[in-house]
Amino acid sequence: MDSAELKQFVIDKIEDLKAKDIVTLEVSNQSNITDYMVVCSGTSKTHVKAIAENVVVESKRAKLHIYGVEGRESSEWVLVDLGDVILHVMQDKTRDFYELEKLWSEKPA
């Protein structure tokens, strides 16, 4: 599966659990560790965890390699690293604080 297909796979799986405010960032020119970041919000800790877990379960079912999952315990911000695509599932207040979309969309100095 190429990186664009993997990105669409992730988007489909987070949409299945009604993730909010989905944003896709192409960062291949800014990062050598991933091609895309997908950022979305969940309505609660339980929702955030469920969205991330759905991606993990479906990725395993599709025999995709998962490089890591971080933040499951607190579920304020759960990161799922699939290599060419990194998923960030956040609660709104955490997303507003870190502003990943702004950080990764700014041009380097």
Domain of 27: which CATH number? 3.30.460.10
Q: Exposed, middle or buried, 95 (CB in 10 Å: 0-12/13-18/19+)?
A: buried
The distance of Cα 100 from the centroid of its chain, to the nearest Å, equals: 11
pLDDT attached to residue 107: 60
| Residue found by looking up tokens 């990186």 in the block | 3
Q: At residue 52, what are phi and psi to the nearest 5 degrees?
A: -65, -45
Task: Please count the structural domains in the chain.
Answer: 1
pTM value is: 0.93
At 63-109, the pLDDT tens digits run 999 999 999 999 999 999 999 999 999 999 999 999 988 888 766 54
Comparing CA positions, the residue from 39, 10, 32, 18 lying closest to residue 99 is 39
Range of the domain at 48: 3-105
